[in-house]
Amino acid sequence: MEKKNLINFISSLVVVLIGAIVLILPIFKIENIRLIFILMITAYGMVNVIKNLVLLSNKEYSGFSSAIASIVVLIALMFIEIDDNPWNLALILFIWIILISLTKLKEADYYHDRKNKLWLINIVNLLLFILTGILTTLNLCCTSDVQIIILGFFFIINGILDLMIPLVNHLLEKK
């Protein structure tokens, strides 16, 4: 597997792992939604920064824009209280989904400009990401333990969707 695909694969696995860890937090009665959400967004941004620092020689910068989206959401969390009102959490998550979607759209455009067949996979990935994001934001009106579980599943799905791209790219390279 090419270095770029391997790094993308590992970073996607880390996102799945983050989601899996978040899923088990309510079992241990860790239900501080604000802290968990901040840690999830921070971890996602850090994974993307590390991924792009490793891949800096490939001139791929989509991870930096994902990290910037995470920073924007973290700044918004300073001003918006998500503990008392679940709709504020949904709003913040929706803003993050929009910003990450723009990054995914730019990546699909990059592949389309280079006549690479991965652009179609990226568009499908983008549409599925937006769909799961909308479904997630609409279901965040429950108690904090349910919100944590929903966010955990969302990150697992996001990681699995991101796993598709390096796997398909690896299969296309073999041909």
The parent domain of residue 85 ranges over: 3-167
35 in a domain, yes or no?
yes
pLDDT in tens, 52-105: 898 887 777 777 899 999 999 999 999 999 988 889 999 999 999 999 999 999
Cα separation, 5 vs 137, in Å, equals: 30
Q: In the chain, at which residue ranges do the beta strands (DSSP E only) sit?
A: none
Indicate if the pLDDT at residue 111 is higher than 90: no
The predicted model gives 102-131 an average pLDDT of 92
Taking residues 161-174, what's their average pLDDT? 90
172 is a domain residue: no
Residue 13 belongs to a domain? yes
Query: In this structure, what token pair is assigned to residue 30?
Result: 């860790």
Are 145 and 29 spatial neighbours (Cβ–Cβ below 8 Å)?
A: no
Residue 11 CA to residue 8 CA, distance in Å, equals: 5
Confidence category of residue 135, pLDDT binned at 50, 70, 90: very high
Domain count within the chain: 1
Residue 24, domain member (yes or no):
yes
Instruction: Evaluate if residue 45 carries a pLDDT over 90.
Output: yes
Q: Is residue 174 part of a domain?
A: no
Q: For the full predicted model, state whether its pTM sits above 0.85.
A: yes
